[in-house]
Amino acid sequence: MNEIIKTSKKGNLIVISGPSGAGKDTVVEQLLSINTNTWLSISATSRAPRKGEKEGVNYYYLTRKEFEDKISKGDFFEYAEYNGNYYGTLKSGIIDKINSGIDVILVIEIQGALKIKELFPNAVFIFILPPSMSELRRRLVLRKTEDKEKIIKRFKTAYNEINEVTKYNYVVINDNVSDAVEKVNSILLSEKCRVDRIEEVYLGNEEEEIHEILVDKELENIELSL
Ligand code: 5GP
């Protein structure tokens, strides 16, 4: 039997942004465990690892010089300077994953996301927000990964970033992590149903199908209740 519609088997490029403290990393970590058709691209950064972070798991940690060498070699799809450090999306692996049907997730800040939009206009852009600004402040303070000065810097950056939300396709409020994960996963599933992913439509032969109805023996025994 021919399938009525053949859709693209390629994965989507999913870009996730949101202010520090919105909980992007936690949401993405849980998303990866419930949706095995996803792959997280690990970025490179020139910032020092935070306590508990691991090379190749959270980031590839480079010196500024190493990062700049990679920029000049064209190793990045995009990179940005954010709060005094470089962050960049390495090209390697991403296109292969998409071609093999995997949804590739980039967790990046807004300048980088806008560059990705130029390169990949069909990418899906999701913005994650905290339920309120005071909750964002509370989360930044509670995680104890930065001193006061850095927290204030991140908080100020967050205010500017939130104005950019309309450049994204979706917004998800992370009040409760599992609800936010479910919403992001629903977006990924819905994106697979977009009509612009249709590559071929097969409707068969209308006359032949009608002929099948006419000669169907079972239909002859139906008593119609009028
Ligand atoms: P953090 O220092 O908190 O790990 O990250 C700071 C910001 O940089 C976050 O918004 C994070 O999403 C973003 N970021 C992480 N990797 C990349 C990347 O490859 N490119 C860009 N443009 N931003 C990134």
> Measured between alpha carbons, how far is residue 172 from residues 60, 143, 187 in Å?
28, 21, 10
Residue 59, phi then psi, degrees to nearest 5:
-155, 170
Rounded-to-integer distance, Cα 179 and Cα 221, Å: 51
List Cβ neighbours of 74 (8 Å cut-off, separation of 6 or more).
Answer: 91
Is ligand 1 within 6 A of the CB of residue 87?
yes
Q: Which atom of ligand 1 is nearest to the CA of 44?
A: 19
pLDDT by 10s per residue, the chain, length 226? 889 999 999 999 999 999 988 999 999 999 999 999 999 999 999 999 998 999 999 999 999 999 999 999 999 999 999 989 999 999 999 999 999 999 999 999 999 999 999 999 999 999 999 999 999 999 989 988 788 998 998 889 898 999 999 999 999 999 999 999 999 999 999 999 999 999 999 999 999 999 999 999 999 888 877 6
Q: What SS3 state is found at 117?
A: helix
Positive/negative CA dihedral, 155, 157, 158, 163: positive
Is ligand 1 within 6 A of the CB of residue 161?
no
Structure confidence at residue 166 (pLDDT): 95
Supply the residue whose CA is at minimum distance from atom 1 of ligand 1.
Answer: 20
Within 10 angstroms of residue 207's Cβ, the number of other Cβ atoms is: 8
Is ligand 1 within 6 A of the CB of residue 88?
yes
40 closest CA partner among 22, 57, 19, 55:
57
- The residue behind tokens 């950019």 is 164
Supply the residue whose CA is at minimum distance from atom 7 of ligand 1.
Answer: 109
Angle at 210 between CA 208 and CA 215, to 5 degrees: 95
**Amino acid (1-letter code) at residue 85:** N
Structure confidence at residue 193 (pLDDT): 96
